[in-house]
Structure 1
Amino acid sequence: MTIKNRFLTSYIGGIVIASISILAILCIVFYVTTGTVPTPKTWYQTFTKQRSLSPEEELAYVELRNIAKTNPDQLLEKGLATDLQKMEKKSLGVVIRHDESILYYSKGLVEKSLVVHFPVFDTNNIETKGTIDNAGRMYRYIKFDFYYSDLSKGSILVLKKENNLLEFFTKWGITISIVIILVSITAMLFLNQLLHRTIIKPLENLGQFMSELRGESLQSKTPALPANTAKEVQQLTANFESMRTTLLASIQEQQNLENNRKELVASISHDLKTPITSIIGYIEGLQEGIADTPAKQEKYLQTIHSKSIALNRLIEELFLYSKLDAEAVPFYFERIQLEKFLVHMSEEFQLDNRDVQFQISVREDIYASIDRMQMNRAINNLFENSLKFKKTDEPLCITLEVTANADMLEIHVMDNGQGIAESQLPYVFDHFYRGEAARTFTTGGSGLGLAIVKQIVEKHQGHVEIQSKLQYGTKVTIILARA
């Protein structure tokens, strides 16, 4: 069943349930009041014939009935009008009939209507009470039928005007019921149309858009909704648009990853092939006797050894980069005093590189939550980069400076090396980027050092920035949360 039909069914069901509930309440009230089970017949009798009389009506009725029984011809006399007027002062109406004509009727009553609606003559006076319509006004009555002395039929009616509410319902009840039903149906159709416009139609449009959404059509935006669309449908459409945007971004990211994978494979192939080709060439030279002196043989072996070390370093860095990229490297964070950490790193680096000078500026009260081993690797990669690209005419000087505020800290690693061209700065953290026109091992780099630095810093919920200018050195800034 469609949503539209479900709404329509719910409306009809609501009207039926409300109607049954009201009818049940009325039946219970009727049963409690009258002690009889309500049926259409009893309902009709209640509203038309079973009206109880007031004491004034009873008294007037008894007086007229006694006259009709003892001296019915007295009712034909005009002198009785004075007594009848006394009864009328009590808001009662009196009608006297002789055969089919009306002898007397109280002021306010309409004779023609009385003739038309006068109750049927009943010799036994079984049905004496009821309700009568007089020119559109409802009156309850008590009746007594008798015979005049000439055996002509006679009747007396004592009437009391019904209250306005009861008269209204008695006269207009069916019309009101029909109007209520028509209004309910109209309201139901209006609400159904409103729901179709604000819920069903937008959902149908969204469903059609979803069924057509594939491939390049993902670029299409979700159809705009009318201003009066239901809030839930707007939220659903917004969620779908968010999902479409996320899916599109995911596809784009997947394409980027695929391009990166192809680039990575090409880079690995190139960087592995270069040292391996060199090693094979020198080994063949030894095998073919090209190195015919001990000095040449020693030179060949040293070259093979250095190329093998470079190749092994490349494989290790590639393995580490892959593990970091796959989040397969565990990180163990601890609160560390940066001054001692950086001093220890600089001293350790100077053991193998005594010509490198360090200047360290950091306060003793600055701490950071870091993985000691991985951060050591990252900063050491920066030291190695500075060493590879140092100037040939002056010693390398590396400056370590830490600045901090209440929440964050910055570790600045600055050198006086060759620097990096401004056009190359956006790419230095990409894997296998070395900024050289030809990809060689002239500097001994793998192109993964700064990419590994970036990954390690990001695993610390931080980020890294670089500033550089040719012949004026390089400044790398690691930004971390303060512990």
Structure 2
Amino acid sequence: MTIKNRFLISYIGGIFIASVSILMILCIAFYVTTGFVPTPKTLYESFTKQRSLSPEEELAYVELRDIAKSTPDQLLEEDMRKKLQQLEHQSLGLVIRKEEDILYYSEELVERSLIVHFPDFDTNNIETKGTVDNAGRMYRYIKFDFYYSDQTKGSILVLKKENSFLQFLTRWGLLIILIIMFVSVAVMLFLNHQIRKSIIKPIESLGQIMSSIRDSDMMMQAPTLPGNTAKEVQQLTANFERMREALLASIEEKQNLENNRKDLVASISHDLKTPITSIIGYVEGLQEGVAETPERQEKYLKTIHSKSLALNHLIEELFLYSKLDAESVPFRFERTSLPDFLAHVVEEFQLSNRQVHINLQVSEEVYAQVDRMHMNRAITNLIENSIKFQKEKVPLAIVVEVIVLHRFVQLNVKDNGQGISEEKLPYVFDHFYRGEEARTSTTGGSGLGLAIVKQIVEKHKGQVKVQSTLNVGTTVTIVLEKS
């Protein structure tokens, strides 16, 4: 069942239950007090019977009753009319009957209606009060029945026109009930329309968009909601739109990762094939006797050895990069003095590369949370990168400096090497990217050095950036939080 129909049924049920409950309470209360189940007519009659007489009604009734008891024939005399007219000036209606004939009635009354609706004769005058309909108008009456001297039946009625709310309900109650029901149904339909407009229709539109997304149409946006839309539906639509954007971003990221994977596979294939091809060529040269002299054989073997080392280095770099990318490399951070740590890195590097001179510049003591082994690898990669891309016939100058900022510490690795052109700067941290136009590996290296540096720095919750001018030099900056 739809939400719209559920709301409609709940409205109808609410109106029905409330109406039946009120009616049952009234019926039970009336039954307890009177002993029978009420109707609109019995309710009205019961109320008028139990209501006390006004002074005017009581005075006129007592006076006419006394006459009817003592000298009933006096009511038939002409002089009695003046007396009756005096009583009528008190907003009363008077009726005198003999047998079935109406001998006297007030001007505002209708004789034909009196004949039809006149109360039954009651010798004992048990039921003396009640209501009577006269030409569509309700009158409250008090009655006295008697016998004339000739033993014919006679009755006197003292009537008071009912202008009360009960008379109004008696005449117009059914119409009022119908009007109330009509208004209730109209309000119910209006509320149902508003609910459809502010809740059902937006949810239906959202469902259509979900179906489109299921069919891989991710560009379908949530519809613009009208101003009177329910707050919950607005929140649902906003959450759906955020989910759609996140899903779209996830799909785009997945596509990018797939493209990167393809590029990575192609790059790996290229970088592995080049040294392997060289190794195979030199080995075949040795096997076929191309290298005839011991000197030439020694040269072939050295080339095979260097290519094997390069291939092994590439595999190690690739393995490390993959583990960092999969977040399977553990990091053990400790509060470290950066000047002491960098001094150790520079000293260790120069022990194995005595021809490289590195200038360490530190202004003050500063600490940061670092993983010493992995940060050592990052700094070493930067220094090796400077060596690979030094200018020919120009002495290489490398400066490692520490600059202390307010909450951060900045590590700079600067060189006076070949530099990087401006259009290539955005790609230097991509895996397997080299600055040469062709991927010939003339400078050696795996093309993963700066990509590994970036991953290590990001695991330290830091940032790495590069500034470079072609044929002037390059500065790589690592920014870490102070500890």
Following superposition, the deviation at residue 356 of structure 1 comes to 1.7
In structure 1, distance between residues paired with 2:409 and 2:135: 99
Letter in 1 for 2:198: T
RMSD value over aligned CA atoms?
2.8
Partner residue of 1:377?
377
Deviates more, 1:301-310 or 1:407-416: 407-416
Paired residues of 1:408 and 1:482 also in contact (CA < 8 A): yes
Partner residue of 1:321?
321
Q: Secondary structure at the match of 1:400?
A: strand
Partner residue of 2:120?
121
Partner residue of 1:101?
102
In structure 1, distance between residues paired with 2:377 and 2:443: 19
> TM-score, normalised on structure 1?
0.89
Following superposition, the deviation at residue 111 of structure 1 comes to 4.0
Deviates more, 1:463-472 or 1:192-201: 192-201
Describe the superposition over 1:58-83 as per-residue Cα deviations: whole angstroms up to 9, x where unpaired: 56534433432332112234555676
In structure 2, distance between residues paired with 1:401 and 1:25: 92
- The reply on whether 1:39 has 2:37 as its aligned counterpart is yes
In structure 1, distance between residues paired with 2:333 and 2:138: 95
- The reply on whether 1:337 has 2:334 as its aligned counterpart is no
Paired residues of 2:206 and 2:237 also in contact (CA < 8 A): yes
Paired residues of 1:357 and 1:397 also in contact (CA < 8 A): yes
Following superposition, the deviation at residue 91 of structure 1 comes to 6.4
In structure 1, distance between residues paired with 2:292 and 2:364: 60
Q: Secondary structure at the match of 1:304?
A: helix
Partner residue of 2:52?
54
- The reply on whether 1:25 has 2:29 as its aligned counterpart is no
> TM-score, normalised on structure 2?
0.89
Describe the superposition over 1:206-248 as per-residue Cα deviations: whole angstroms up to 9, x where unpaired: 3233323356632233343344333333333333333222222
Partner residue of 1:267?
267
Partner residue of 1:353?
353
Deviates more, 1:406-415 or 1:178-187: 406-415
Deviates more, 1:332-341 or 1:60-69: 60-69
In structure 2, do the counterparts of structure 1 residues 287 and 374 end up closer, same or farther at CA, with 3 Å as the change threshold? same
Q: How does 1:58-77 map to 2 (within 5 A)?
A: 60-77=60-77
Partner residue of 2:310?
310
Q: Secondary structure at the match of 1:218?
A: coil
Partner residue of 1:12?
12
In structure 1, distance between residues paired with 2:114 and 2:309: 130
Deviates more, 1:122-131 or 1:422-431: 122-131
Paired residues of 1:49 and 1:131 also in contact (CA < 8 A): no
Following superposition, the deviation at residue 452 of structure 1 comes to 0.8
Describe the superposition over 1:342-366 as per-residue Cα deviations: whole angstroms up to 9, x where unpaired: 22222222222233221323431x3
Paired residues of 1:102 and 1:111 also in contact (CA < 8 A): no
Overall identity of the aligned pairs, in %: 63
Partner residue of 2:462?
462
Partner residue of 1:294?
294
In structure 1, distance between residues paired with 2:288 and 2:78: 162
Paired residues of 2:212 and 2:220 also in contact (CA < 8 A): no
Q: How does 1:232-247 map to 2 (within 5 A)?
A: 232-247=232-247
In structure 2, do the counterparts of structure 1 residues 79 and 477 end up closer, same or farther at CA, with 3 Å as the change threshold? farther
Following superposition, the deviation at residue 9 of structure 1 comes to 0.7
Letter in 1 for 2:17: I
In structure 1, distance between residues paired with 2:102 and 2:163: 28
Paired residues of 2:113 and 2:134 also in contact (CA < 8 A): yes
Paired residues of 1:121 and 1:155 also in contact (CA < 8 A): no
Letter in 1 for 2:20: I
In structure 2, distance between residues paired with 1:5 and 1:480: 61
Paired residues of 1:338 and 1:362 also in contact (CA < 8 A): no
In structure 1, distance between residues paired with 2:331 and 2:112: 104
Following superposition, the deviation at residue 96 of structure 1 comes to 2.9
Deviates more, 1:313-322 or 1:91-100: 91-100
Letter in 1 for 2:104: L
In structure 1, distance between residues paired with 2:404 and 2:190: 66
Partner residue of 1:110?
109
In structure 2, distance between residues paired with 1:255 and 1:377: 31
Describe the superposition over 1:169-201 as per-residue Cα deviations: whole angstroms up to 9, x where unpaired: 233222211110011111112222222233223
Return 5+ residue gaps in structure 2 as ranges: none
Paired residues of 1:413 and 1:475 also in contact (CA < 8 A): yes
In structure 2, do the counterparts of structure 1 residues 338 and 79 end up closer, same or farther at CA, with 3 Å as the change threshold? farther
Q: Secondary structure at the match of 2:410?
A: strand
Q: Secondary structure at the match of 2:141?
A: strand
Following superposition, the deviation at residue 40 of structure 1 comes to 3.6
Partner residue of 2:430?
430
Describe the superposition over 1:32-53 as per-residue Cα deviations: whole angstroms up to 9, x where unpaired: 6x163x5245x53231245224
In structure 2, do the counterparts of structure 1 residues 62 and 457 end up closer, same or farther at CA, with 3 Å as the change threshold? same
Q: Secondary structure at the match of 2:169?
A: helix
In structure 2, do the counterparts of structure 1 residues 264 and 96 end up closer, same or farther at CA, with 3 Å as the change threshold? same
Letter in 2 for 1:448: L
Letter in 1 for 2:309: I
Describe the superposition over 1:292-336 as per-residue Cα deviations: whole angstroms up to 9, x where unpaired: 333333322222222111111110110111111111112222232
Following superposition, the deviation at residue 144 of structure 1 comes to 1.9
